[in-house]
Amino acid sequence: MDAKEASKIWGHSESYVRIFYKQNPEKFPKGSIRKFGTTWVVTTEGMEAITGMKDPRKNNE
């Protein structure tokens, strides 16, 4: 998912992932974040690693 969408799902501002990555790139598991052109793409695993929270979308199931 793109970083803006992921940030909103986990309850953070749109720029959360970009800022976090610039400050703490080592916190992301290998291969969990990548930049395609100007868009950052992050996996659910990456978001769970940096926020310490499971995917909030799974709480509805």
Instruction: Please give the mean pLDDT across all residues of the chain.
Output: 95
Tell me what the mean pLDDT of segment 14-41 comes to: 97
Q: Is residue 61 very low, low, confident or very high in pLDDT (cuts 50, 70, 90)?
A: low
Task: State the pTM of this model.
Answer: 0.89
The per-residue pLDDT for 20 is 97
Question: How many domains does the structure of the chain reveal?
Answer: 1
Tell me what the mean pLDDT of segment 17-33 comes to: 97
The 10 Å CB-count burial string (b at 16+, else e) for 40-57 is: bbbbbebbeebbeeeeee
Tell me what the mean pLDDT of segment 40-53 comes to: 97
C-beta separation of 9 from 16 below 8 A: no
* Residue range of the domain that includes 43: 3-60
23-28 contacts at long range (C-beta below 8 A, 24 or more positions apart): 24/50
Instruction: Name residue 41's beta-bridge partners.
Output: 2, 34
